[in-house]
Amino acid sequence: MTAPTDMTTHLDAVLSRMTLAEKVGQLNYPSGAGGGIAGVAEAVDVPTMIRRGMICGISAGDDLAARRELQRLAVEEGPNGIPLFFGKDCIQRYKTGGPIPLALSCTWDLDLIGRIAAMCAREARADGINLNWAPMLDICHDARWGRIAEGNGEFPYLGARIAEVVVRAYQGADGDMARPDRFMATLKHFMGYGLARAGRDYASVEASPATLARIMEPFRAGIAAGAGAVMVAFNTINDIPVTAHRTLLQDVLRKRLGFRGIIVTDFTAIDPELIHHGVAEDSRAAAYLAFKAGVNVDLVSQAFLNHLPGLVADGIENPAAYTGPDGTYRFGPVTEAEITDRARQVLEAKWRLGLFHDPYIGMDEALRERVTYTAANRALVREAAAKSLVLLKNDRDVLPLRPDRGRIAVIGPLADDRIDMQGTWAIDVDPTKSVTILEGLRAQAGERILHAKGCNIVDDPSLAARLNMHNRSMPSVIIGPDTPEAMLREALEVARSADAILLCLGEAKEHAGESSTRADIALPAAQRPLFDSLSAFARTSGKPLILIAMAGRPLALSHEVAGVDALIWAGHLGNEAGNAIAEVLFGRVAPSGRLSQALPRSVGQLPLRTEDLVTGRPIWGAGVELAEDTALDAKGRHWFRKFTTACILEEPMTPLFPAGFGLTYTSFRYGPLRATSTHLRGAGELTVTVEIANTGPRAGTEVAQAYLHDLVGQTARPRRQLVGFERITLAPGETGTVAFRLTPDDLRYPVGDSLTDLRHAWEPGEFELLIGANAEDVARLRFRWDRA
């Protein structure tokens, strides 16, 4: 058969042959082959559904042969020969496990992130996966939320740049996905999922249109880069479930952002979740609301399959029932023309993937062997893991350690844990191929490395069972066999025999991820006695104490930072975690990670947002020291110059470590800011440069960051807003220059009282550009912009 050459002509012909039921089938994505899933009443007979044209794709088959056979059924025995999607959650990794996205974003290295994403696409497409349920672009300010691990930090600007890079790496810079090393990106979760109240997964979201517009920037960027799919969020926004939110999905996503791809629900988001939300009385009503909102593909629930044909027939027979201003069915009847349009969009996505030309693209055993878990892939994830480590403290320059001098006690439940190194959503990563921290250190320092477990990750058996839920056959969170007291005694004995102590504490991989909210973001309680005992021992003995805090979220480490000489925050780093950590600890690689999310002092600071709005009483003016240090303003009112605890009684308002913060094994000095002008006019461009000198003894990488502050606007403006960053690597004594270019586009901000009224404003006036090593340590330059 001759391969089709024109998409419109070919799809017109396919659609003309399809029955209404077969078109609806292209909007149905049930559970995987051979079994049911939450929200599906009975097991899904996938082969029969394929033969009847009732299915557009599946998350099915753990091996290539199974996927090939299902694709053969679709194209050879299906009524119209339409190939299948095979989708999976490849959250920045497929077979070769690299750092979780939150950790990867701490590299601020877009080239590296792009190479990791390209590796993921290459491995997955060679295994038959053509549709990826990633990247996750949700902006979050509350570290209690478990899915913060899957995101790219708190900055919309950084998230937008990462979205562009990842989409182009998945789909190709030219958008040609008909290749065996590319697959389709799904931007998720549109919208507001990361703003869940108190970090409780799936909880409601209350957010202004301007706030939604700010956190929408990563989606805007991903759509502009050509993303083929968008997944809607589970949550409600301002009382309306996003799955049924016509304004968000049609007026904003389709019209304002210009998205032309497919809109998919999250799993079971139609049925039963719209029923649970209380906006639909039954599955039929839920299907109607989601379809009328603009959804293309129903994941798992099969509500579209079960009810759309009947809704079309009912609309023809009883159109008056769909014309009233009130009630569930107020948006007019469902028509076959609408279903045809939605099915066309699904078929267009399959065309873009090359499936109508070759439905078996990439399904090649030999290709899979050549591109999966290769030496180059392992080297890449090792590089990424090392670059994602964030050095937060290094008193007495205790780091780097010497592998050839002294003994090092490696203590903690994560020291020899290869499973939790993978982090959440490492569905297809083989943990047996992972290198633990202990193994990585021993590979470089041999017998000088001593070891003790010290404590359990958690002591609660019920919590341990929950943390092992996705790896029950190979549990990582194991209680015992020794008692906590016995493990602590052993740890102290090992510490006494060593010259330096490395503590490996933090979270199991399932402490983070979906449905993994934490009430407290401190170290798990079972680990605190070990920390306190070793901190006290190190203080009295004078032995260096280094803490690696591994987690899927920012942790509150106020207590710990005061009790250690050196502190590293590490996300879950993947297969090469142990080797990467050893390279950084021993100085073979200098740390270069910078926080993409501020670390709070305590859970009481949450939500914590670096780009927070300026308040009527700024934190630097709301104090308690009134008697000795006040001043009068021009109207005779008291103005507080000093503050101690501001509005929080127990601790400062500032984060423990600001976003953008990170140390290395050298030091940098910033010169004065220099601008081509301090007056930007019209559509002109302003360039601001700064010289950065490496004043320390080692080579190192600095991440210079630029933040904008609009002094006066129609609405309250953030105290600072990230607008640029540059990585620069300098030898000892070397000086380099970084440049930041601003145009009026960088000055725009969202205004409007509703989502339909939302627009971006460009206002003449005074601005400040803040440039420095992190969000707090900055130099300021004031400039003005006028329209002409």
Alpha helices in 183-300 (DSSP H): 209-215, 217-224, 246, 273-277, 283-293
d(CA 737, CA 693) in angstroms, rounded, equals 9
E-strand spans in 720-774?
721-730, 735-742, 749-751, 759-761, 765-772
CA dihedral 451, 452, 457, 462 (to 10 degrees): 130
* Count of beta carbons in the 10 Å neighbourhood of residue 517: 18
Burial group, residue 745, by CB count within 10 angstroms (0-12, 13-18, 19+): exposed
Picking from 318, 331, 253, the residue whose alpha carbon sits closest to that of residue 292 is 331
d(CA 304, CA 299) in angstroms, rounded, equals 10
- Could you tell me the two tokens for 330? 């107020």
The SS3 of residue 692 is strand
- Could you tell me the two tokens for 665? 């094994």
The active-site residue out of 127, 142, 266, 298 is 266
Picking from 323, 322, 295, the residue whose alpha carbon sits closest to that of residue 311 is 322
d(CA 12, CA 9) in angstroms, rounded, equals 5
266 is an active site residue = yes
Angle at 270 between CA 72 and CA 81, to 5 degrees: 20
The SS3 of residue 700 is strand
Give the strand pairing for 735-742 and 765-772: unpaired
Picking from 346, 726, 396, 394, the residue whose alpha carbon sits closest to that of residue 585 is 394
Residue type, 362: G
415, 505 Cβ separation under 8 angstroms: no
Looking at residue 587, what DSSP letter applies?
T
d(CA 574, CA 584) in angstroms, rounded, equals 16
Return the exposure string of 353-388: e unless at least 16 CB atoms fall within 10 Å of the residue's CB, then b.
Answer: bbbbeebbbbbbeebbeebbbbeebbebbbbbbbbb
159, 106 Cβ separation under 8 angstroms: no
DSSP 624-636: S-TTTSEEE-TTS
d(CA 727, CA 704) in angstroms, rounded, equals 6
Burial group, residue 246, by CB count within 10 angstroms (0-12, 13-18, 19+): middle
Q: How far apart are the first and last CA of the chain?
A: 62
Residue type, 622: A
3-state helix, strand, coil in the chain (%, to 5): 35, 20, 45
The SS3 of residue 663 is strand
Catalytic residues: 266
